[in-house]
Amino acid sequence: MKITLSDKKVLVTGGAGFIGSNLCETLLEMGNIVVCLDNFSTGKKENIEPFLVHPNFKLIEGDIRNLEDCKKAVEGIDFVLHQAALGSVPRSVHDPITSNDVNIGGFLNMLVASRDVGVKRFVYAASSSTYGDSESMPKVEDVIGKPLSPYAVTKYVNELYADVFSKTYGIETIGLRYFNVFGRRQDPNGGYAAVIPKFVSQLMKGESPTINGDGTYSRDFTYIDNVIQANLLSLISEKEESFNTVYNIAFGERNTLNDLMSYLKMYLSEFDPKISNIKVIYGPNRAGDIPHSHASIEKAKQNLKYNPKHSLQKGLKEAVKWYWDNL
């Protein structure tokens, strides 16, 4: 399905981040006007550097915790793609207050600002962490457990607020529960780096990566291009039943951390054969981690026409090449 979306004014919060900057790039390429709101706490100027000279791109350096910044950002906006958040389960365990302030307080500010100016649709980054201790497999949107981390609590509260705002104020909301997104521009540095770029960076340096646990924990790893597709489809959908709900955004396939490490070593050793011999270290499990994650994507397929093209292996091949060329 070819996605057509042009001449719209779209606000991307967290637009200098990993997912946000990829969304900004795609929307600009399609002929839209893009406003990026970011405070650069986790986003990076270099991610949006190429767009700063684009006539259809506007950067607002601001914080979603500040309602006035949110109001400024939504002026004249048709659609909001709300990606701004403090990610990472470990970060939220270490500092639950800041995660709460950004992910819940900031989210509410964005909803209020969007409501007040009549934004047509508010699409937001939800999270697979919402499934918590639910052991059902694959994960289906209406069967969740209790959250296992402060981060998971914040992302679930986002869904509750979005539901209330859609019912009370009539704003169209769509939540996309991302499952372990990876790909170009994902930061390998810092204490809370996502697992794939961190492993790639370590292997490229000849260092032994550490897997938390015995490597049998599994994830539904989701390449960035699948996520971009889901966001665009959320903006163009006209089906009444597609609004005011949440969707799993994944590939719909489960791979263990041991599988992941095998693929990374295989693809990276094409650039440097020595990488295939690097030993892997196994450490303790992380607090708040969900053991297994596997998404049913049937609802997104049916309502949004979501059709992910990148499996873990296909996505990793592209991501590894990007890191090799850019790190």
Distance CA 34, CA 208 (A): 41
Helices and strands (H, E) in the chain, number of each type: 12, 13
- One-letter amino acid at 144 equals I
Instruction: Kindly list the strands in the beta sheet with 9-13, ordered across the sheet, starting from the edge strand earlier in the chain.
Output: 57-61, 33-38, 9-13, 79-82, 121-127, 172-178, 245-249
Distance CA 98, CA 50 (A): 31
DSSP 3-state of 214? coil
Distance CA 268, CA 273 (A): 8
Distance CA 189, CA 195 (A): 10
131 tagged catalytic: no
CA distances from 255 to 118, 141, 195, 295 (A): 42, 20, 13, 12
24: closest CA among 62, 55, 57? 57
Distance CA 40, CA 233 (A): 27
Rounded CA Rg of the chain: 19
CA distances from 211 to 196, 204, 275, 282, 327 (A): 11, 16, 16, 5, 22
Candidate list 124, 151, 161, 306, residue with the active-site label: 151
In DSSP terms, 222 is beta-bridged to: 181
Distance CA 99, CA 162 (A): 18
Contact 77, 55 (CB under 8 A): no
- What residues are annotated to the active site? 151
